[in-house]
Structure 1
């Protein structure tokens, strides 16, 4: 861990807790800052805040009093989920107080270089692949960010020869100042999180922050199949490394003659790769680019790609039973992700979908539902999804109350050779706390089928 004096004897407000806020507060305290933590949850219901209080950190809980801005804070470190229209955050911006996220702190103290991955879809799979490939090469890789541990905590023990592999959301990337990954990856860019960012232009700008501090010595891996993304990326100072599933990418990764290539080197045949789906081929090309630039051997890459079947809750193979293959794609919380999942299979599909109603429709799924023989719905959006399925010509639509019922019904309406796919196209919060909980219940229900 680097010894920095940036925050020593400076007043810093940590806004919002959860794991990243606790880690940020403790790190800043260790760095000699005068830390105040402000969290909306009352103190008597807030064990994290109680722990910080025991460490001698000032804690204010139960509300976000705007008067905090009069306390002379020189920095604010906010939880990524707190929007910029929060009065304290917008007030700080108006006053010129820098607003950071915990990722910036992690970068400032890390001895190890960063490989940063962002994008609308595919971040988790790409990050996981990179991490596994580096480890397969018998080198140390630290998994951090949205998957793995809190970055500002795990980098405290990182060494120069390690690799910090970090998944980054647009929310996190809005709160950086000096953060500079040696290798940056953007998997793709579609419209998303507009309720947070306001416009697709602001969303794209947040994503492109991943490369804003890169120099000619760094690499920026970009999806060359998205022309608008390549145009946005052209402003970088880093060396652009393109990847493409449909065209030659001589300076990056592509598919030629049934093989994955990096530059002029054949890495692995497509037939050997066990991870299903065209969208995952994009993730594989991005990951191969990142690890080849890091000096990882082809043997390590092949070892991972011939064994890795998917990230938990992301087109994850669960089991084959009575001729049916079950896949858990609970992380598909929007139609874009569900399109990718539907596109990954040629077999007839029994689709399980539904969840929180955010006001959107589902008709953009229709062109991807030609293989869907039955739709099993649940949650607030059940009726909307049924309407879409009828338009798509799906003959069987069954409304269920919960995941256990949905799995039973899906099996009842399936045949040997079918894929039974949970890909909800919705957030989980109407019935389940997280998409992970929803996926775990699906997995359990699949394994208890009789």
Structure 2
């Protein structure tokens, strides 16, 4: 495994554990750098803290005392910790560099990096790009917000490996020198304003994916999104636009039969299994990133013929007695659910609900035209039932959980219906993660007869 060489800092604080913090602390320690770790969770309930202590790393748990900054010249922050945290604020006042582990991954990686960001579609685009390169027999590794810690994966890469990284705004705002050879900026919608406070800061954070690029690099971007296009005007790298609505002679576009990169036919539209207009954007971005990284048209087509979605994101689950089930548990906001609903022009039973963050659901109304029933659960069930009633949906039923929702949806369904779990809410009122929620739904579906 590789370690950091010529690292310009000697005393590093890793703030916050979870997978990324543990990986960063371990890497720094193995690189001969003095590391201190600070985590909110008490030591007795903190297995990661115990593991790091056994490696000889100093760990301070149970709170965030300012004393942990003593002697520190570099701060590696868990992406989820806000900049309002007292330790982070004090570090800023002291002029310390504040980064996320993605910065460490960049310092380790020898081969080209594809960095993929956007408000929606990151996981699908990242997975597609990775699989297209794999299918084309290109050496490639997958990392980032998709569940694999970047600095951990980067330790095992060579100069021949392409590293495909899914990047959140939380990760990107904590970068200094990070420079992917290919940057992908999918879209920009209002999100995470509890963290970023303003859309300007949120957009600026996303734009860090290309800010350090130069003329030898590429930025693939959504030409149908004005805000994205305006940000990309700042890039020094070569622009590769994609559009589902207009001809892009220097990028990715489509006609009624083919998807093109510039003037080259890449894949027939009829060969693409993944449904939804939003997924066409993800596909276009993936095609551009993969082709620029050496993927073949045969490899790209092979993936698109069989890829039906990543787990919990518009994932086909099963067809039963003429009913088709989709798991979109990762749809934790209105935008994601509206895109899911837009993917179908058949009668749909929507399963939705979850954590109540105080928002209303009126923005979903234009997307309910094919929804004939709603099965609702969680804290927001009453609000969503009111939405259903206000939009002429005669059947809106509140149940206790997604297992019951799957069973009830099947009970009232007709042949030809789509049964769609797309909650429009976070899962934390009832489930630890959206994955747990989606898994319960799929288990329930597979027991139906």
Please confirm whether the aligned pair reaches a TM-score higher than 0.5, indicating the same fold: yes
Once structures 1 and 2 are overlaid, which stretch shifts more, 331-340 or 262-271? 262-271
Which residue pairs with 1:407 in the alignment? Answer: 406
CA distance in 2, matches of 1:279, 1:290: 17
5+ long unaligned stretches in structure 1 = none
How do residues 93-172 of structure 1 correspond to structure 2 at under 5 angstroms?
A: 93-172=92-171
Q: Structure 1 CA distance, aligned partners of 2:57 and 2:67?
A: 19
Match of 1:19 in 2: 19
In the alignment, what sits opposite 1:6?
Answer: 7
- How far has the Cα of 1:434 moved from its partner? 0.2
| 1:398 counterpart residue number | 397
CA distance in 2, matches of 1:344, 1:258: 19
- For 2:139 and 2:394, the matched residues in 1 are separated by 51
- 1:206-221 to structure 2, matched below 5 A, reads 206-221=205-220
Once the two structures are superposed, what CA deviation does each residue of 1:381-408 show, in whole Å capped at 9, x if it has no partner? 0010011111221111000011111111
Q: Which residue of 2 aligns with 1:31?
A: 31
Runs of 4+ more than 4 Å apart: none
| TM-score where L is the length of structure 2 | 0.98
Describe the SS at the equivalent of 1:320.
strand
Structure 2 stretches lacking a partner, 5+ long:
none
SS at match of 1:157: coil
1:228 deviates by 2.0
Residue in 2 that maps onto 1:80: 79
Matches within 5 A, 1:164-313: 164-313=163-312
* Structure-2 residue corresponding to 1:47: 47
- Counterpart of 1:384 in structure 2 is 383
- Tell me the matched-pair count: 448
Which string of whole-angstrom CA distances, capped at 9 and with x for unpartnered residues, describes residues 270-304 of structure 1?
A: 11100011110000000001011112110000000
**C-alpha deviations, 1:192-245, integer Å up to 9, x for none?**
000000001100000001011000000000000012210111011011100000
Are 2:3 and 2:27, in contact at CA under 8 Å, matched by a contact in 1? Answer: no
- Which secondary structure does the structure 2 equivalent of 1:211 belong to? coil
- 1:428 maps to 427
Distance (Å, rounded) in 1 between the aligned partners of 2:180 and 2:214:
10
TM-score (ref. length: structure 1):
0.98
After the TM superposition, which of the residue ranges 30-39 and 327-336 deviates more from structure 2? Answer: 30-39
Contact 2:3/2:31, CA 8 A, preserved across alignment: no
Cα deviation code 1:322-361 (max 9, x no counterpart): 1000000000000000000000011100000000000000
SS of 2:107's partner is helix
* Cα distance change on mapping 1:286 and 1:440 into 2, 3 Å: same
CA deviations over 1:244-268 (Å, ceiling 9, x no partner): 0000011110112321111001111
1:7, CA displacement in angstroms?
A: 4.7
Determine if contact 2:213/2:237 at 8 Å carries over to the other structure.
yes
Q: Distance in 2 between matches of 1:3 and 1:330?
A: 38
RMSD over aligned Cα, in angstroms? 0.9
Q: Following the alignment from structure 1 to structure 2, what is the Cα–Cα distance between the partners of residues 405 and 278?
A: 30
CA–CA distance in structure 1, aligned partners of residues 147 and 355 of structure 2: 26
State the distance in 2 between where 1:238 and 1:4 align.
Answer: 27
Contact 1:5 / 1:31 at 8 angstroms: preserved in 2?
A: no
Does structure 2 conserve the Cα–Cα contact (< 8 Å) formed by 1:259 and 1:266?
Answer: yes
Equivalent in the alignment of 2:315? 316
Instruction: Between 168-177 and 152-161, report the one with greater CA deviation.
Output: 152-161
